[in-house]
Structure 1
Amino acid sequence: MTEALPAELAAAEERVAALLRGRAPLGVAFSGGVDSSVLLALAVRTLGADGVRAIVAVSPSLPERERLDAREIAALVGAPVVELPTREGERAAYRANGPDRCYHCKHELFDRIWSELPAREGLAALAYGENADDIRRADRPGGRAAREFGVLRPLADAGIGKATVRALARALGLPNADKPAAPCLASRIPHFSEVTPAKLAQVEKAENALRELGFRDLRVRHHGDVARVELLAEDLVRAAAAPLRDRVRSAVLDAGFRFVAVDLGGLQSGALTLPLVDVRG
């Protein structure tokens, strides 16, 4: 991926490159989402493939399709992949699922990376894909863990927000340039309801089945026996009308839920967390 970029995007790339030079071997916490994909691609362009590792955290909160997508994108970019099992589910504070759950998840990830990979992979530095828009959101406590472990955030520090991230992804030929946000499966479980592997598996199965029915962007929120399905506004009528309605219902019930509710509010990013955090900062 050595394509020349348009001037504005080339300037953005140079700001990121200036933050990465001299950091090899660099580990990139890699989810396969567009932010970490752009960071990984820019890191390879700056440091070379031998100077970068795509680190994929593997746990019950990562859908299998996301793990496979991450491997494909890393291969396209040319970065070697390191799959690292994480055990956030063994942390009581993570299972308790307060609004700071993401902090405990990221703490586990960064702690495990620094405990295991410097000797194994020779890592000199670690970066993750937080962008300049993310740092203004109140529902992303994982950033605190990143600061505690000295993890770099080159996109954010280079002033690159989501729109520029997607523009870079298109210019670099990444297949996920327009991919919707894909937060971990634990984000589907209401706060203070325990996170368990069984619940995560239910959510993953239901969401996979709905995607097979043609719904591209969605969430299945786990409310015990009830699955609350969030869809894009333009999909609501289609999901509630025959003949698809019965297939939607069956797809979710087959995942182990007893009842299916389609939320008329549509897809709501951060809906479970934002009401519980201080949004004044």
Structure 2
Amino acid sequence: MPEELSTDELARKVTQALHELELDTLISALHERDRLPGRAPQLISNLRPIFEAARRDHVSLLRPPADFQPWLQRVILTNIDGTEAKGNTRISRVTALRALYRALRKLELLHGDPLVDFQLPSVELRSDPLPPKAAIEKLLKAAKSDPNLFAALLLVWHHALPMTTLLRLKWSAFNPEKRTLLRDDVVTPLTAQAAAALERLLHQAGYDPLYPETLAGTQSKRMFPYDTLDALRLRVLQTCTKANLKFIPPGLIKKCALRDHARSAAHLGYRVNKHYKKVIALAQGISVNDAK
């Protein structure tokens, strides 16, 4: 069991580890006290190249210099052995660093975000092959132990829900009686599986169908706990790792909705049927190319 530390003592220990760039000590101190989500070995692996580069270049990660973001862009492109890092590896590194900086802000060791407006390298290109349906099903099976992620993935895969919409959803958008979701200007009829997953979360938020008046108390609450897209990406990455899957970016899962769950325009959030048909035709073309 980790020693009991007050918040001030933990902050001092974390500050010292950051000054000395002692990554293992830092992650252990935060992770053992539930201050940093994720698997400690994976976090250490993702952050190691950044800490090694900071030691080499005399860069403070606690008090980043003005040119920190350009420096970081260069660092995440390369592995410790000098080889080029893959796109998903770059994302994992920045996502882990964001999680670390969130933990530091909660300890009041940082008052701003050194990564504000930092652009993650994109790997969700149109030319990327879509993951097979079996891979997404395996991801969902692994996500069942995390009700929030399970419901979020179902909305993305079954209904092509945009990430920005997902992050800002409140329970007022969900009608448990009709099993519909209001997404911007479209009312989407949910699949039975997606509706059931949301109902489970709604009950956790305080709604009891035996007492209809309890629904009102949930309406202003956020549906999902993810503050940023990076937080959602991190949970997907962790679950992919647990399931022995290659990382499947949420944006690619959304594209797979057009391939795997094209039922109607409203079902996928389209107001204009012509636009819906055009997008479906494009998605089917990508799927055909993937199969070749």
Same fold (TM over 0.5): no
Task: Determine which structure has the larger strand proportion and give its number.
Answer: 1
Judging by fraction of residues, say which structure has more helix.
2
Greater radius of gyration (CA): 2
Could you say which TM-score interval applies, normalised by the shorter chain? under 0.3
